[in-house]
Amino acid sequence: MDFSQMRLSREPAVYRTEPLVVPGISGYLPEKARGGKDPFAPVVERESRVVVPTREVTCYECGKKSRIPVAALSAHCVHCCAHLTLTDYRLMPGSKKLTRRTLGEVVLPAQTELSLLSIVSGRMVVAGKATGVKLRVMDVLEMEGKAVLEGQVQAGRLEVKKGARVQVSPGLSVESAEIKGMLTARLHATGCVHVRDGGALVGDCHAPDLRLEPGAVHRGTWYPIKS
């Protein structure tokens, strides 16, 4: 072939490009397939959302409530970013100058006598004796047996178990109280104090509402206060 006799065309070449479409991979669909279902597209199932069980806790720094996973051993408050421990403790005989800060449960067993305790806990069960204490229980303070506490005691809710004969001196401050056994203390409450049948409160009571069931006893003076 004689290339010297070839004439170059002055007309510009026209190129028509087509996109590379790989069925099931490319996001582009030809015009005839738009609006329809691509038979080659992979089937993607919607992921199921995992629901993590949570519980509500009250921060011992700012006093605000947060929800954390039930299985968590520690967490940070979403309001003040304080580090919160959720470990449970059982106080052993012979412990002195013991300090604990946790949103877990602290247990003072029966026949255990301790002194100089400084404890902040989510829940506390007291069946023994402790003197020189400074307790702040965010949730429930449960007293049973022949429990004795001497010092500063604050709690969200006080529960005195049936058959218990407990003593708190000089007194304690709570949000509410349910007394099924005998409690000897000066009680300050911002909510209702409920003495069940067979229960007894020995001491003055400062509360907006004092309820005595038939068979319940209150030996002292009730000072109604505004809630």
pLDDT digits (tens, 9 = 90+) for 9-67: 555 555 555 555 555 554 555 555 555 565 656 666 666 677 888 888 888 888 888 88
Contacts for 155 with CB less than 8 Å, ≥ 6 apart: 124, 135, 136, 137, 140, 141, 172, 173, 174, 175
Nearest Cα to Cα of residue 75 among 99, 49, 102, 48? 102
- Give the distance, in angstroms, between the CA of residue 84 and the centroid of all CA atoms in the same chain: 10
Give domain limits for the chain.
52-86, 88-224
Is the pTM here over 0.85, yes or no? no
Which amino acid type is present at position 72? A
Look at phi and psi of residue 40 and say left if phi exceeds 0, alpha if psi is from -120 to 50, else beta.
alpha
Cβ pair 203, 186 in contact under 8 A: yes
From first to last of the 227 residues of the chain, give the pLDDT tens digit. 554 555 555 555 555 555 555 555 545 555 555 555 656 566 666 666 778 888 888 888 888 888 888 888 888 888 888 888 888 999 988 776 788 899 999 999 999 999 999 999 999 999 999 999 999 999 999 999 999 999 999 999 999 999 999 999 999 999 999 999 999 999 999 999 999 999 999 999 999 999 999 999 999 999 998 86
Q: Which of 153, 158, 139, 148 is nearest to 199 (CA)?
A: 158
**147-154 long-range Cβ contacts below 8 angstroms, 24+ apart:** 147/108, 151/117
CA dihedral 67, 73, 78, 82 (to 10 degrees): 140
Backbone angles phi, psi at 31, to 5 degrees: -60, -35
Give pLDDT, residue 60: 84
Return the pLDDT at 15.
54
Residue 147, pLDDT score: 97
